Each structure stands twice: as structure tokens, then as C-alpha cells.
């Protein structure tokens, strides 16, 4: 869990888009693309790097990947050219899917019967903590001390997780048997529609989530330490949401998958119309934090249900969909904010969630997709 937390801290720089723009002397939309380059790379490499690394001994794989992260992050601190910085950001992101996918696979392999979802949730909690609780820390350091200081803390935490893996993680052999990709299943209507439906979830959520700091600064006028404290609180609610999502999936998976879209879309609509009421909008954002945390579990659950016999492939596709959706959401949100103002993120996010609801309702109740706990 701690290592998945550390490897996710590079995602937390979304809270300092303004500082990134100033440091590299670029527009908000270009800075948004720099931030999203990490998730775009994960979306692409997640389709094949988990399978490539599945044969190697687990500890060596983790140490090698975290070392690449450490080197890339320390280079980024001292580079003031956004193209070079993007290269090293993408380089580290290329190995991210192998790390998380293998960690999720190991959890499922070692978990006692009946506790697999709890073990998976621990890794997903690490992802949630790293990208969401890391957000207020990075935002605070970035807004007060600047972009380079924020990147320095990301390097330091990443290096700490590398040391902990070296010292404490046991040696676990990789999987040596041949890896056959189930192309017939990947071409099935169930898999394609399920994947299209669930990618709409992170797109819709990301359009709003990644520009919440900008919204809070420019609409509700919450700045500096108050912004960081609130984002930290949001992160705690999101961690609770990740835990809650894991529990609800086991109890009522179909209902959870469908209700999520409706409630989240409703929250966005209410946030749009209540932006003048500070307390109400803050409460709505915290509710969204719970839903945002739940999303990790829901997406991973659908993919591993469809590809139950190939967990590394399923987890790789999960990471591709999650991060591809986040990257598209960041890019779409950046252009919306530049072109139509920050309030445009709420109707845009709502539209994507409605599309997700329609597709998943059809897949679950008409195509009757096989779900692990149904």
C-alpha cells in the first residue's frame, strides 16, 4: 500500500497548474497537458507492460521501477524546459502500469479466500492516498514555495518508498508460463461496451476533480493554507470512499455500479447551481470526494470480472482506462476553463456520467455481464 502511495504522488501536481504555468511560462491548457502526459502514458503502456514484466521476480521489478521514478523526478526538479520535463515524466509513467498491476495481482494471489476484495482495496487505497491526499501537500508547497519545492517533496517520498521496498519486501518469483492474450474476449460486445462505459466515469470525474483547486481559488475565493486544509479533508473523504466502494461491491455490486453515476451527476448539477453558497458547495465537494474514491474499486471490479482468468491483463486495462480517462478529463477541462470559464466543468462532467450510466445499465441488465459477486 505504501509503495503504491509513493508511486502515485506525481499525479498530485494538478493542484499547482497555475505555478506550473508560471514556471514554464506557458498557458493553463498547455500546463494541463504537461500534467496529463503522465496519465496519457499510463493509458498507453498499461495495455502491454504488465504482461511484459509479469515473468520477472517481483522485488527486482518493483526496485527497478521505483529507481526510474526517482531518477526522473530529480531531473524534473532542475529542468525549466517543458518538453524535456515532459519526456522524463512520460518515461516514469511508462513503467507505472507494471508496478500497480503486479501489486494488484500479487494481492489476489496471496489473499485468503473471501478477503480478495479487501486486499485489492488496500492497493487502491494507496493509489487514492497518493494522488488525492498528496494533492493538498503538493498544492501547499507549490503555492507557497513554488513548483520546484513541490517536485522535491515528490522525489523525497518516492525515494523513501524505494528504500522501504529494498529493505522489507520479500522476493516473490514471477510467472514463467506463456502468456496468451484472450483476443476473442477482447473483441466481445460485452467487453467493448463495458470498457467504453467505465472510461466515461474517470473522464467525467476528472473534468471536475482536477480543476477543483482552480474553482475554489477563483469562484469561492479559498486560497493558500485554507485551500490545502480543505483539499486534505477532501482526500480523507475520498479514502473513505475507496474503502466504502470495496465493501458495497461485495454486498450489492450491480446497484452500486449504477447508482454511482446518477448520484455523482446530481452532485455536479447541484455544485453548478450553488456556487454562490460557500458552505453548501463545500459539502457537495466532500460528497463528491467519497464518490471519487469509490470509482477506483468500481472500474477495477468490472475489468477483473470480464477478464477473470487473466488478472495482469485485466489490471493493466484497468489502469489504462482509469488513467486514460483522467488524462482526457484533464485535457478537456483545461480547454473548457480556457475557453468557457471554470463553471463549464460541471455540465461537461455531468454529460459524461450520464453516458456512462446509459451504457453500463445496458451492459449489466441487458447483456448480463458476468460480475464476480453476483
Reported as a single tens digit per residue, the pLDDT across 304-354 is 888 777 777 788 888 888 888 888 898 899 889 888 999 999 999 999 999
**Distances 84 to 146, 168, 203 between C-alpha atoms, Å:** 19, 34, 27
Our measurement of the distance from residue 249's CA atom to the centroid of its chain's CA atoms, rounded to an integer in Å, reads 19
- Distance between CA 192 and CA 46 in Å, rounded? 17
Say how many C-beta atoms besides its own lie within 10 A of residue 190's C-beta.
14
- Mean pLDDT over 258-286 rounds to 93
| Contact criterion met (CB below 8 Å) for 127 and 135 | no
pLDDT of residue 128: 67
User: What's this model's pTM, rounded to 2 decimal places?
Assistant: 0.78
- Mean pLDDT over 96-100 rounds to 88
- Mean pLDDT over 224-230 rounds to 77
- Distance between CA 344 and CA 199 in Å, rounded? 20
| Residue 106 pLDDT grade (very low, low, confident, very high; cuts 50, 70, 90) | confident
- Mean pLDDT over 85-94 rounds to 93
**Residue 40 reports pLDDT greater than 80:** yes
pLDDT of residue 16: 86
45-81 pLDDT, tens digit each: 988 888 788 788 888 998 999 999 999 999 999 999 9
pLDDT of residue 270: 96
pLDDT of residue 335: 87
- Mean pLDDT over 356-364 rounds to 93
Calculate the dihedral angle through the C-alpha atoms of 326, 328, 329, 331, rounding to the nearest 10 degrees.
Answer: 120
- Mean pLDDT over 282-298 rounds to 91
Q: Residue 147: which of 195, 189, 89 has the closest Cα?
A: 89
Residues 6+ away with beta carbon under 8 Å from 262 = 357
- Distance between CA 15 and CA 35 in Å, rounded? 10
Q: In whole angstroms, how large is the CA radius of gyration of the chain?
A: 19
Q: Which residue reads 516514469 in cell numbers?
A: 92
| Contact criterion met (CB below 8 Å) for 20 and 34 | yes
Residue 56 in grid coordinates? 520477472
**Domains annotated on the chain, with CATH:** 2-174+182-365 (1.20.1250.20)
Residue 365 in grid coordinates? 441488465
**Residue 182 reports pLDDT greater than 70:** no
pLDDT of residue 91: 93
**Residue 176 reports pLDDT greater than 60:** no
pLDDT of residue 104: 81
pLDDT of residue 6: 64
Helices (H), the chain: 2-8, 17-24, 28-45, 49-53, 58-78, 82-110, 116-128, 134-145, 147-168, 183-186, 189-209, 212-218, 224-251, 253-273, 278-306, 311-340, 345-365
Task: Supply φ then ψ for residue 54, to 5 degrees.
Answer: -65, -25
Q: Which residue reads 466515469 in cell numbers?
A: 201
**Residue 33 reports pLDDT greater than 90:** no
Task: Supply φ then ψ for residue 329, to 5 degrees.
Answer: -65, -40
- Distance between CA 217 and CA 4 in Å, rounded? 30
Q: Residue 89: which of 101, 77, 103 has the closest Cα?
A: 77
Q: Which residue reads 531531473 in cell numbers?
A: 75
What rounded mean pLDDT belongs to the chain? Answer: 85
| Contact criterion met (CB below 8 Å) for 31 and 17 | yes
pLDDT of residue 291: 94
Residues 6+ away with beta carbon under 8 Å from 372 = 253, 301, 304, 305, 308
**Residue 90 reports pLDDT greater than 90:** yes
- Mean pLDDT over 140-157 rounds to 89
- Distance between CA 231 and CA 140 in Å, rounded? 10
| Residue 202 pLDDT grade (very low, low, confident, very high; cuts 50, 70, 90) | very high
Which of 55-64, 138-147, 170-179 has the lowest average pLDDT?
A: 170-179
| Contact criterion met (CB below 8 Å) for 135 and 98 | no
pLDDT of residue 133: 65
Q: Residue 96: which of 150, 53, 57 has the closest Cα?
A: 53
pLDDT of residue 199: 93
Amino acid at each position: 500500500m505504501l509503495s503504491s502511495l509513493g508511486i502515485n504522488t506525481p499525479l498530485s501536481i494538478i493542484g499547482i497548474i497555475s505555478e506550473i504555468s508560471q514556471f514554464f511560462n506557458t498557458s493553463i491548457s498547455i500546463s494541463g497537458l504537461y500534467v496529463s502526459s503522465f496519465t496519457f502514458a499510463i493509458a498507453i503502456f498499461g495495455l502491454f507492460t504488465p504482461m511484459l514484466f509479469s515473468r520477472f521476480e517481483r522485488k527486482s521489478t518493483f526496485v527497478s521501477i521505483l529507481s526510474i521514478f526517482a531518477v526522473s523526478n530529480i531531473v524534473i526538479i532542475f529542468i525549466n524546459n517543458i518538453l524535456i520535463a515532459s519526456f522524463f515524466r512520460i518515461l516514469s509513467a511508462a513503467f507505472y502500469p507494471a508496478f500497480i498491476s503486479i501489486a494488484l495481482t500479487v494481492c489476489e494471489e496471496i489473499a485468503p479466500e473471501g478477503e480478495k476484495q479487501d486486499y485489492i482495496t488496500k492497493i487502491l487505497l494507496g493509489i487514492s492516498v497518493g494522488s488525492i491526499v498528496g494533492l493538498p501537500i503538493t498544492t501547499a508547497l507549490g503555492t507557497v514555495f513554488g513548483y520546484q519545492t513541490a517536485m522535491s517533496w515528490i522525489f523525497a517520498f518516492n525515494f523513501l518508498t524505494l528504500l522501504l521496498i529494498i529493505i522489507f519486501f520479500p522476493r516473490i518469483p514471477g510467472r514463467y508460463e506463456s502468456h496468451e492474450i484472450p483476443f476473442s474476449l477482447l473483441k466481445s460486445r460485452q467487453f467493448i461496451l463495458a470498457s467504453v462505459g467505465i472510461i466515461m466515469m474517470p473522464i467525467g470525474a476528472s473534468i471536475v476533480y482536477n480543476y477543483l483547486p482552480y474553482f475554489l481559488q477563483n469562484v469561492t475565493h479559498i486560497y493558500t493554507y485554507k485551500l490545502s486544509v480543505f483539499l486534505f479533508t477532501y482526500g480523507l473523504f475520498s479514502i473513505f470512499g475507496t474503502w466504502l466502494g470495496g465493501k458495497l461491491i461485495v454486498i450489492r455490486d450491480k446497484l452500486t455500479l449504477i447508482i454511482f453515476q446518477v448520484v455523482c451527476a446530481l452532485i455536479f448539477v447541484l455544485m453548478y447551481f450553488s456556487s454562490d453558497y460557500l458552505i453548501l458547495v463545500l459539502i457537495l465537494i466532500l460528497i463528491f470526494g467519497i464518490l471519487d474514491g469509490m470509482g477506483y474499486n468500481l472500474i477495477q471490479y468490472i475489468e477483473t470480472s470480464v477478464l477473470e482468468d487473466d488478472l495482469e491483463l485485466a489490471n493493466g486495462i484497468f489502469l489504462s482506462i482509469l488513467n486514460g480517462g483522467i488524462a482526457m478529463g484533464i485535457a478537456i477541462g483545461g480547454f473548457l476553463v480556457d475557453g468557457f470559464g471554470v463553471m463549464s466543468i460541471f455540465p461537461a462532467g455531468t454529460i459524461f456520467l450520464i453516458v456512462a450510466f446509459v451504457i453500463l445499465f445496458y451492459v449489466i441488465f441487458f447483456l448480463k455481464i458476468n460480475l464476480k459477486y453476483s
